[in-house]
Chains A and B, each alone.
Chain A
Amino acid sequence: MNYFPDEVVEHVFDFVTSHKDRNAISLVCKSWYKIERYSRQKVFIGNCYATNPERLLRRFPCLKSLTLKGKPHFADFNLVPHEWGGFVQPWIEALARSRVGLEELRLKRMVVTDESLELLSRSFVNFKSLVLVSCEGFTTDGLASIAANCRHLRDLDLQENEIDDHRGQWLSCFPDTCTTLVTLNFACLEGETNLVALERLVARSPNLKSLKLNRAVPLDALARLMSCAPQMVDLGVGSYENDPDSESYLKLQAAIKKCTSLRSLSGFLEAAPHCLSAFHPICHNLTSLNLSYAAEIHGSHLIKLIQHCKKLQRLWILDSIGDKGLEVVASTCKELQELRVFPSDLVGGGNTAVTEEGLVAISAGCPKLHSILYFCQQMTNAALVTVAKNCPNFIRFRLCILEPNKPDHVTSQPLDEGFGAIVKACKNLRRLSLSGLLTDQVFLYIGMYANQLEMLSIAFAGDTDKGMLYVLNGCKKMKKLEIRDSPFGDTALLADVSKYETMRSLWMSSCEVTLSGCKRLAEKAPWLNVEIINETDNNRMEENGHEGRQKVDKLYLYRTVVGTRMDAPPFVWIL
């Protein structure tokens, strides 16, 4: 089979970097499997409970970078209790014992402790990059260990984590000799920041390209930081409240003008409405703008800023921009690829909210758009049909109509036809989120047309088990299916058990599945972990006279090669 010596084959493999491709290579033959596993440096594990550290290290002894994901996606919306699991400690312990040369660790939705961070910081001499997304369980003391002990730290990127801020001096724990920082993101920290330590750190980090500040960094400090880091590419502004103190404002304006490499802007965690004009001079270079936390900024100011951003590729914004604002985006941002519009009013429909008109305008004006997340008050089938026609290139389409079960507001029909048009036209669709009034029909369309669909999120949709069956039978590439508050039950769950071997996971909450249905599934598929999460009734479930017919509150099942996990809390019942 091999015409070349192993080293040559390995060299060829070096050019293959995507996980999917490397996984495919390893399946070709035993020889390739062996060469591939010794040369694999980056490993991605989408569900930390699908395997374990020992198996990881046995197969990939030369790994340098590990990505791990823990809790299911719906944990982002408070549907998974904090103590459910996803602990990184055993992984770090195993990696430390094995003396593997770990350089990069990326974690999402995992529980990280200060102990884990301390162990991490002491165990890997060449450790360079720590990225934590939506994690919890640690404090700024853990950050202090990382700062103090990782001599070659390049990236410390904390995105939307729950961190207990001890208001300590973690920033001053970076030794004076640390000059290698490229990324520093601590926007999610809620406490005070040692500004002097921060300024000194930034001043001695000539390679610093990405700096995201928390809300405790005021305007004058921002001006100083920017003037000593004009090479900045990605900036997250913390607090941006401008008093009429014009001196710091002038200094900021001057500093901003010098940041000619700035391509990405975010933050404005606390902002007075009028300050954005200081950034207008660099807007023409921006490719990424995230104002989704700038709740105080009035729609008109957002629009003024965006009018200058002709090169924007990625925009995350609040719906306070309004349909009119989205029309401005559509006519200005011709390079736009990804748009996210978040709700700004959780209580009741405000008149500045966005509707189907904004979505249609964007689809018409932005030919390169491939990913959208859109929260809105209302939608129509006609609008979705138009959007599908304008944008057949969607890879990700997530629509969230704020009121569940809301029909087409013009015809009062379900939105089946609209979403049907989307899946029919968008042949490369990989991710879809549904909302509004939907019957089984929409799932028929999805099963028929969404051939590339890998992730589907369903809420308050469907009529019968047929809906779920259409999806399970039709979407051959389905990896993650998450369903809440929909009338799917045991029939759909049990129809084709082997399907779950091809999927990463299935989540069903507030549906119609029963305990006996789940038990039957667990019996048929011992290679699945079938978890019942029942915070209130777990003990009573068994004793109940209705035994078996009791509906399951939350079901989470996933394929695994290592069987039942040992770290589940008492309210998680693994069948």
Chain B
Amino acid sequence: MEFSNSCSSFSSSSVDSTKPSPSESSVNLSLSLTFPSTSPQREARQDWPPIKSRLRDTLKGRRGDDTSLFVKVYMEGVPIGRKLDLCAFSGYESLLENLYHMFDTLIICGKRDRKHHVLTYEDKDGDWMMVGDIPWDMFLETVRRLKITRPERY
């Protein structure tokens, strides 16, 4: 977004000492003063949006965007894997449903079964575990990748 106003600088607050001269002040500010909110060069203002310093500092210190967690998913015996964003699911049920559509086969978790594909995962210790034993939120914290085992392996 660009400034089309003759008021050269948007930052008309005290931070900027170059103010428009009185002759320019009659320009209608509301028409063309814009905020380049999508410009990556824009430095964060300290006085907008109007939130308290404590919240501003908290938000600045965030680890980053926690809205996605992509992990690799392999079907045993199939060399090419897939990738899934686990944050898109609300729990194990929706994960399984999605895998069902993705791999076109019923997959279960939480128990061993001779007949069905069983979902397993590698945790952050490098161990392969059965999916479904721990709360979903804890699972998101520890999962590294998924593997769908073939029937009759156990």
Contact = CB atoms under 8 A, between A and B. Distances in A.
Q: Do A and B come from one complex?
A: yes
B150 to A, nearest CB: 30
A460 B38 CA distance: 19
B48 A77 contact: yes
Size range of the chain A interface in the assembly:
35 or more
Nearest to A489: B25
A298 B66 contact: yes
B90 interface: yes
Given A343-B51, A346-B60, A551-B25, A402 B37 contact: yes
A512 B49 contact: no
B50 A293 contact: no
A274 B137 contact: yes
B106 to A, nearest CB: 25
B4 interface: no
A309 to B, nearest CB: 18
Contacts of A551: 19, 22, 25
B72 to A, nearest CB: 21
Given A460-B30, A536-B14, A301 B137 contact: yes
Interface in A262-278: 269, 272-275, 277
Interface in A462-489: 462-463, 484-487
- Secondary structure of the A side of the interface? loop
Nearest to B62: A295
B90 A300 contact: yes
Size range of the chain B interface in the assembly:
35 or more
A407 B105 CA distance: 49
B67 to A, nearest CB: 6
B80 interface: no
Contacts of B87: 298, 300
B66 A296 contact: yes
Contact of A273 (B37, B59, B62, B140): B140
A346 B44 contact: yes
Interface string A377-406: 000000000000000000000001011110
15 contacts: A273-B137, A277-B135, A292-B55, A296-B63, A301-B137, A346-B49, A346-B56, A348-B37, A349-B38, A375-B51, A403-B37, A438-B30, A459-B48, A486-B29, A514-B22
Interface of A: 76-79, 134, 160, 162, 188, 244, 269, 272-275, 277, 292-293, 295-296, 298-301, 342-352, 375, 400, 402-405, 437-439, 457, 459-463, 484-487, 509-510, 512, 514, 533-537, 546, 549-551, 553-554
